[in-house]
Amino acid sequence: MFTDMACFSAFVLPIWLLTKRRRNQREKGTKVKRVALANMPPLVNDLILRAARGEHVERPPVWMMRQAGRYLPEFRAKRLQTDFFTMCRTPTLACEVTLQPLERFPGLDALIIFSDILVIPQAMGMEVLMVKGKGPVFPAPLRDPDTDFAKLILEPDIDAELGYVFDAINVTRIQARGRVPLIGFTGAPWTLMAYMIEGGGSRTLHNAKRWLYTYPDLSRKLLEAITRIAIEYLVKQVQSGAQMLQVFESWAGELDTDCFRKFSLPYLTQIAKETKAKLSSIGLSVPITIFAKGANHALEDLSYSGYDVIGVDWVIDPKEARRCVGDRVTLQGNLDPGAMYAPKNVLKEKVADMIQNFGVQKYIVNLGWGMQPFMTPTMAGTFIDAVHEAVSRNE
Amino acid sequence: MFTDMACFSAFVLPIWLLTKRRRNQREKGTKVKRVALANMPPLVNDLILRAARGEHVERPPVWMMRQAGRYLPEFRAKRLQTDFFTMCRTPTLACEVTLQPLERFPGLDALIIFSDILVIPQAMGMEVLMVKGKGPVFPAPLRDPDTDFAKLILEPDIDAELGYVFDAINVTRIQARGRVPLIGFTGAPWTLMAYMIEGGGSRTLHNAKRWLYTYPDLSRKLLEAITRIAIEYLVKQVQSGAQMLQVFESWAGELDTDCFRKFSLPYLTQIAKETKAKLSSIGLSVPITIFAKGANHALEDLSYSGYDVIGVDWVIDPKEARRCVGDRVTLQGNLDPGAMYAPKNVLKEKVADMIQNFGVQKYIVNLGWGMQPFMTPTMAGTFIDAVHEAVSRNE
């Protein structure tokens, strides 16, 4: 009674799809038996957690955004063998490169899990490739508000799709042996939406802007979906072992002040508040950092948005940043990444001045943006040493 | 007594070089008989000059940065036939494309001469190419502080090297027939230095930063040389017919606040003050605008630096910008260029809100950055109409 095609559709295709789905889940999902939080090694250096909570510290903690990256030859050696997203998806590999900076620089006060903000668009069904010399590329970006949007998975199964991140965090937390806390992170809704629409980096973000201005309701729907995913994703990172969280709104500075208030700030606020509430309901609590690059106009608003720490870029004076946020939050940042290319003595002086201006309390030393591939381990070492030296000099 | 080579060096080479130099001067230098300022057509619409000087206006003037550009099909048609820098160097062509936006949009209140900020590095002996899809490229950027720097012409003959700009301004001023004022411009020292070192656009400017931090004295020497050239260049633009001037510090936002104070602000201030003094000594006076993109932290400092107008990007609230500068200057800007991609009614509402927030007096309507190739003439027309409508609505 069945035609051959109908037979294929009714029996073979579903089984094949089911198997494919399971294969994907095995690929992306849990691979390791996770260790419970109660059984984790005790934390030796909790400096960054104390600073984030505004407690008294003997010196400001230091870490570097994108500290596990191409400036390290040991990272490049691993990358030669493996595709970028395969590294993210392989817990042992992600763990290994996450630990690399700490192995080299014991003066670091935190680890950040090796991953990428674009794993959320991937979980929503989008393909993302990391192309050499170009960065992330979406072969099929969101362009048509009807057909493309309809293909998006707005409520993905986070455990199935992003279980590999939780595994990587769990393994890394164990392997870190309590030396320093492990930071988990997510991309913020507007930044992820912009990537999904532009399909990669862009100087103008004109496709994403067209969406915001032309389809504000659909934009909100997308931003809300990403927000929900980000919250669940962050909570599960903590359940797996993350001891602190950071939200990256990398393209905050592309929005005008009105659009920032409409399309970024509400979702950032929701992420902080709901993540904290959900964690609290299961007896967990970690400090959360917001880094909204380029949104120095919004520092005051951000200081009321539920975050413990605000990361700032280098285009604001530390004292002015403190004036904007009062004593409500800890600040993190903000060395010009370009200063890493300075001679040692100049770099050390810049770091000392920065600490002087931010002050030792309620402050986490970092760059104003991530480490760059052209940097060298020596630069990173000098930066970290400078923090330790600046503080002992002040004593 | 002479060897063949010595003979060549002593006699043939100098003559050949002299001829080459004269050929270059003919190529780049004066081609047209300039008309004296006294004989220029009378100015009909001086709205932008009055707004810039802080005088009472009936409505805020409007123009767009990079208004002569690829978003206009008539511009693209010309560009198909001619290389970018050949267009800059051919006064009749530069005049033609400068006038194109006014021919299409009679609601514009200013013209800006078609040229490029990189004509100064060219005048200093550097080669600059405009590469399709890539923007400006220096085949031999400044990298080595000794050998590369030594090749730079720090005191070029401005008339010989940039005479074509003065010709273009002179011709355009006549062809504008007094409809609206003609704006001349220059790149600011830090931005030009960064281009010269990076050799083109860059996300990190790490080569330029390395120079600033490693060779601060040499950097100052270079910045001072560019400053001197920029001043002479601006004065001569006014002598040729420019009725207003703008200085573009496009990469101000890449400098941290300390570096901005050291390596940008002093030269910007010197340019405003010395240009004004030199013009005054020959009985001339025009308003000057500074646009230091991304340096919203420095608005207050800039308001004391001798400029009549400060251009602002879209990452600051108009009222906050006004608060920073007091009533010392006229403000210009700051629509998010991305808003041009909005539906007509949304774009018009954004423009109306912007005018409401900046206020009608001491304000020049513009985008927060230049027009983009992906924009359309319809968008520009809607933007300009919106300004005229917003004001008549307020009456």
Which residues of chain B make contact with A374, given a CB cutoff of 8 A? 204, 206
Q: Which of A213, A324, A366 to mutate to test the interface with B (most CBs of B within 10 A)?
A: A213
CB contact under 8 A, B297 and A315: yes
Residue A290 C-alpha from the chain's centroid: 10
Distances (CA, A) of B16 to A127, B9, B20, B21, B152: 60, 10, 6, 9, 21
pLDDT of A5 reads 42
In the residue annotation, A50 being an active-site residue is answered as no
CB under 8 Å, gap of 24 or more: what pairs does A272-281 form?
Answer: A272/A247, A272/A305, A272/A306, A272/A307, A273/A306, A274/A231, A275/A231, A275/A234, A275/A235, A275/A245, A276/A306, A278/A231, A278/A235, A279/A235, A279/A238
Supply the range of the domain harboring residue A139. Answer: 5-310+318-327
pLDDT of B18 reads 42
| B332 part of a folded domain | no
Give the integer Cα–Cα distance in Å for B156 and B124. Answer: 6
Q: Which of B315, B319, B351 to mutate to test the interface with A (most CBs of A within 10 A)?
A: B315
pLDDT of A322 reads 98
Q: What band does B201 get if pLDDT is binned at 50, 70 and 90?
A: confident
| B61 part of a folded domain | yes
Beta bridge partners of A244: A183
Q: What is the DSSP string of B100-135?
A: HHHHH-TT---EE-S--TTHHHHHTT---EEETTTE
Beta bridge partners of B244: B183
Which residues of chain A make contact with B350, given a CB cutoff of 8 A? 258
CB contact under 8 A, A337 and B212: no
For residue range B117-175, what is the model confidence (pLDDT) as tens digits?
A: 999 999 999 999 999 888 999 999 999 999 999 999 999 999 999 999 999 999 999 99
pLDDT of A392 reads 74
ipTM of this predicted structure:
0.91
Beta bridge partners of B363: B331
| B301 part of a folded domain | yes
Strands (E), chain B: 111-112, 129-131, 135-137, 182-187, 244-249, 288-292, 309-312, 330-335, 363-367
Q: How many domains does chain B have?
A: 1
| B142 part of a folded domain | yes
| A198 part of a folded domain | yes
Q: How many CA atoms lie within 13 A of A100 on its CB side?
A: 24
| A39 part of a folded domain | yes
Task: Calculate the average pLDDT of chain B.
Answer: 93
For chain A of 395 residues, list the mean pLDDT of each consecutive stretch of 10: 40 42 45 91 98 97 98 97 96 98 98 98 97 93 94 98 98 98 98 97 94 97 98 98 98 98 98 98 98 98 98 98 98 98 98 98 98 97 97 65
CB contact under 8 A, B341 and A213: yes
Output the domain CATH number for residue A275.
3.20.20.210
| B374 part of a folded domain | no
B98 pLDDT above the threshold of 50: yes
**Considering only alpha carbons, which residue of chain B is nearest residue A341?**
B210
For residue range B12-64, what is the model confidence (pLDDT) as tens digits?
A: 444 444 444 434 444 454 567 999 999 999 999 999 999 999 999 999 999 99
| B391 part of a folded domain | no
pLDDT of B249 reads 98
Question: How many contacts (CB atoms, under 8 Å) link A and B?
Answer: 115
